[in-house]
Amino acid sequence: MPTATAAPGTLLLTPADHTLIMIDFQSQMAFATKSIDPVALRNNAGLVAAAAAGFKVSTILTTVAEKSFSGPMFREVTAPFPGKALLDRTSMNTWEDKAVIAEVNRLAKGRIVLAGLWTSVCIVGPALSALDQGFEVYVIADACGDVSEEAHERAMQRMIQAGARPMTSLQYLLELQRDWARSETYAFTTGLAGERGGAYGIGIDYAHAMNPNASEAG
Please report, for the chain, the start and end positions of each structural domain, with discontinuous segments joined by +.
18-178, 180-218
In degrees and rounded to multiples of 5, residue 167 shows phi and psi of: -155, 180
Share of the chain above pLDDT 70, in %: 98
200: pLDDT strictly greater than 60: yes
Of 113, 48, 97, 100, whose CA–CA distance to 74 is shortest?
A: 48
Q: Residue 40: in which H helix or E strand, if any?
A: helix 38-54
In degrees and rounded to multiples of 5, residue 137 shows phi and psi of: -125, 130
Using only C-alpha atoms, what is the Rg of the chain? 17
Confidence of residue 212 (pLDDT cuts 50, 70, 90): confident
> How far is residue 69 from each of residues 138, 160, 213, measured CA to CA in Å?
28, 31, 51
Measured over the CA atoms of residue 78, residue 11, residue 55 and residue 171, the dihedral's sign is positive
Instruction: Tell me the pLDDT tens digit for each residue of 97-142.
Output: 999 999 999 999 999 999 999 999 999 999 999 999 999 999 999 9
Give the DSSP letter of residue 209: H
215: pLDDT strictly greater than 60: no
The predicted structure's pLDDT at residue 69: 84
In degrees and rounded to multiples of 5, residue 198 shows phi and psi of: 60, -135
Domain 18-178 -> CATH class: alpha beta
Report the predicted TM-score, pTM, of the whole model to 2 decimal places.
0.94
Residue 123 and residue 120: Cα distance in Å, rounded? 6
Among the listed ranges 32-36, 68-72, 87-91, 197-201, which one has the minimum average pLDDT value?
68-72
Measured over the CA atoms of residue 21, residue 22, residue 24 and residue 29, the dihedral's sign is positive
Facing residues of 137 across strands? 112
Determine the average pLDDT of the residues in 155-176: 98
Chain-wide mean pLDDT for the chain?
Answer: 95
Polymer length in residues for the chain: 218
Show the DSSP H helices in 71-168 as ranges.
75-78, 98-107, 124-132, 149-162
User: Is the separation of the CB atoms in 155 and 146 below 8 Å?
Assistant: yes
Among the listed ranges 133-137, 183-187, 213-217, which one has the minimum average pLDDT value?
213-217
24: pLDDT strictly greater than 80: yes
Other Cβ atoms closer than 10 A to 164 = 23
Determine the average pLDDT of the residues in 71-75: 95
CA angle 113, 115, 120 (to 5 degrees): 115
User: Is the separation of the CB atoms in 22 and 115 below 8 Å?
Assistant: yes
